[in-house]
Amino acid sequence: MTTRPASFVTQEPTAPRILHAVPAGQPTSVHQLAPGLLEAYEAVGGQVHLAGCALEDVPVVRFGGDPDRQVPEDIILCPEQKRYQSVESSLSALLGLGNVSDALPPAAAPGEWIRQVVADAADFAGQSESDMEVVVIWCKYVRGKIQCTIGEALAEQAFEGWAHSLKPPPFHCEVTGADSLRLAVTSDSRIIAAEQMGQCSLTAKRLPNCELVRCSVTDRLVAAENVARCPVVLKPLLPDELVTCSSCREQVSPEALYGGTCLVCGSLRRARFDDDRLLRVFASIPRLAAWKYFRMGESASVYVLTASNLFKQRLVVVDKISGQLRHAAQGVRFSRVWTPLAEKEFSESL
Ligand SMILES: [Zn+2]
């Protein structure tokens, strides 16, 4: 601020001497703000523009003029709350108060209102403003929206802040949680952070990485809706990669199969009559309870049970949720050879 009295003075005989200033280099219009903001964005295949941007003049009152007098900090009339507050150094830097230049008061600010602001600020600071020089520094506060359009898709990011130090606000991607200045559109017309964009190797659809899954067999990235999950090793894989266990006939990952039999079938354990899982299978197939010896195992989706008596064996695979029989077979005790049975045949064989 120059010490030279500015030409633009609002003065009355009994009123303080009020000068007006602005932070040097402060953008004063949307036209001045827009290029610096928009050049920071990249919309792949689309464009970014300002929507609904408005600037408000906010007064910061600086008491001074007498170097021997203890001058309080600058007092700001906060834009939202319409209350007064001392300007701390961090805010002072954001406002650009370290380097101000003479200016006209805003056309929209009546002299009476300005005098009232100065009087109220003096009250707040415990100063008598009547005999000192007062500078009102007019700081621009900006509110607006950045809008991104890519094809038919549209995304908006609201922002606000001081024009002197306004930085381009990153878009907050609701899908991935990422904040980014680079935007791209998914195949289903969602604008997301470009850094988070992936592609399904099956369908070539562009999708957020968080909606893609890596197949544990082929290592290919595919849409989560296109993968299966092995109920034994609990890993995702492409449905085409599933293999069938020769014993329980469940579809599993090759990783879960040894010698044609899945890990569940290969590790059945003796089950006692008080085993809850066994009781659940009995609830679905009551006549099994008449058999003598049981061995059991389970995957994420089924119970696998063998029931045997002195010479015969039955194998049943029961859905854990529905209790439905998914597969049944018969064999000779101690043999690993199973002959599949249709449900009716199985019922009759018990
Ligand atoms: Zn099996």
The answer to whether the CB of 268 falls within 8 A of the CB of 304 is yes
- Ligand 1 centroid to 349 CA: how many Å? 22
Cα 280 to middle of ligand 1, angstroms: 19
Same domain, 321 and 202: no
pLDDT of residue 81: 64
- The rounded Å distance from CA 254 to ligand 1 centre is 12
Cα(214)–Cα(320) distance, integer angstroms: 27
pLDDT in tens, 15-38: 678 899 999 999 989 999 999 899
Q: Are residues 221 and 309 in the same domain?
A: no
**242 lies in some domain:** no
241, part of any domain: no
Contact 95, 163 (CB under 8 A): no
Residues 121 and 181 in one domain: no
| CA 286–ligand 1 middle distance (angstroms) | 23
Residue 10 has pLDDT above 60, yes or no: no
pLDDT for residue 15: 62
Beta strand pairing status for 261-262 and 257-258?
antiparallel
The pLDDT assigned to 3 comes to 40
Domain carrying residue 194? 174-226
Residues above pLDDT 70, as percent of the chain: 92
Does position 72 have pLDDT exceeding 80, yes or no? Answer: no
What is the whole-number distance in angstroms between the Cα of residue 262 and the centre of ligand 1?
4
Widest Cα–Cα separation across the chain: 119
How does pLDDT run across 92-120, given as a tens digit for each residue? Answer: 899 999 899 999 999 888 889 998 898 88
User: What mean pLDDT do residues 145-166 have?
Assistant: 95
Asked if the structure places residue 103 within a domain, the reply is: yes
Asked if the model's pLDDT at residue 156 lies above 80, the reply is: yes
- The pLDDT of residue 17 is 82
Average confidence score pLDDT of the chain = 89
Q: In the prediction, which pLDDT does 108 show?
A: 87
CA 302 to centroid of ligand 1, rounded, Å = 10
pLDDT of amino acid 6: 43
pLDDT at 158 over 70: yes
Ligand 1 centroid to Cα of residue 272, in Å, is 21
Distance set, CA 322 to CA 217, 234, 313 (Å): 29, 20, 24
Same domain, 23 and 145: yes
Tell me, yes or no, whether 110 lies in a domain: yes
298, 267, 264, 266: which is closest to 281 by C-alpha? 298
- Compute the average pLDDT of residues 149-157: 95
Give the Å distance between the CA of 57 and the centre of ligand 1. 74
What is the whole-number distance in angstroms between the Cα of residue 341 and the centre of ligand 1? 16
CA of 3 to the centre of ligand 1 (A): 90
Q: In terms of domains, do 57 and 93 share one?
A: yes
Pick the residue with more confidence: 79 or 22? 22
Question: Which of 198, 160, 157 minimizes the C-alpha distance to 176?
Answer: 198
Distance 263 CA to ligand 1 centre (A): 7
Q: Specify if 166 maps to a domain.
A: no
Is there a domain that residue 243 lies in?
A: no
Ligand 1 centre to CA of 252 (Å) is 8
Residue 308 pLDDT more than 80?
A: yes
Q: How confident is the model at residue 129 (pLDDT cuts 50, 70, 90)?
A: low
- Give the pLDDT band of residue 153 (cuts 50, 70, 90): very high
Higher pLDDT, 48 or 128: 48
Distance 269 CA to ligand 1 centre (A): 14
Q: From CA 312, how far away is CA 305, in angstroms rounded?
A: 14
pLDDT at 199: 96
pLDDT at 349: 82
> Which pLDDT value is given to residue 2?
40
Out of 182-196, 200-214, 215-229, 330-344, pick the least confident.
Answer: 330-344
Determine the distance separating the centroid of ligand 1 and the alpha carbon of 288, expressed in angstroms. Answer: 20
Q: How far is the CA of 131 from the centre of ligand 1 (A)?
A: 95
User: What is residue 130's predicted lDDT score, i.e. its pLDDT?
Assistant: 63
* Beta-bridge partners for 315: 306, 329
| Confidence (pLDDT) at 63 | 83
Which pLDDT score, from 0 to 100, does residue 13 have?
Answer: 46
CA of 294 to the centre of ligand 1 (A): 16
How far, in Å, from the CA of 273 to the mean position of ligand 1? 22
CB 79 within 8 A of CB 143: no
What total number of domains does the chain contain? 3
Answer yes or no: do 263 and 217 share one domain. no
Q: Are residues 212 and 118 in the same domain?
A: no
DSSP 214-254: E-TTT--EEEGGG-EE-TTT--EE-GGG-EE-TTT--EE-G
| CA–CA gap between residue 222 and residue 25 (Å, rounded) | 51
Q: Is 231 part of a structural domain of the chain?
A: no
Cα 133 to ligand 1 centroid, rounded to whole Å:
90
More confident residue, 126 or 142: 142
Residue 65 has pLDDT above 60, yes or no: no
Taking the centre of ligand 1 as the mean of its atom positions, its distance from the CA of residue 260, in whole angstroms, is 9
The rounded Å distance from CA 244 to ligand 1 centre is 8
Residue 165: inside a domain, yes or no?
A: no
Question: What separation in angstroms does the CA of 239 have from each of 105, 207, 215, 222, 251?
Answer: 71, 20, 10, 11, 9
Greater model confidence, 59 or 2:
59
Question: Which range has the worst mean pLDDT, 76-85, 231-240, 340-349?
Answer: 76-85
Write down the pTM of the prediction. Answer: 0.72
Distance CA 30, CA 277 (A): 70
pLDDT of residue 122: 85
Out of 6-15, 97-106, 192-201, 221-230, least confident range: 6-15
Q: Is the pLDDT of residue 73 over 80?
A: no
Asked if residue 143 and residue 38 are part of one domain, the reply reads: yes
Separation of 265 CA from ligand 1 center, angstroms? 4
CA-nearest of 113, 95, 106 to 8 is: 106
Ligand 1 centroid to 317 CA: how many Å?
9
Same domain, 183 and 144: no
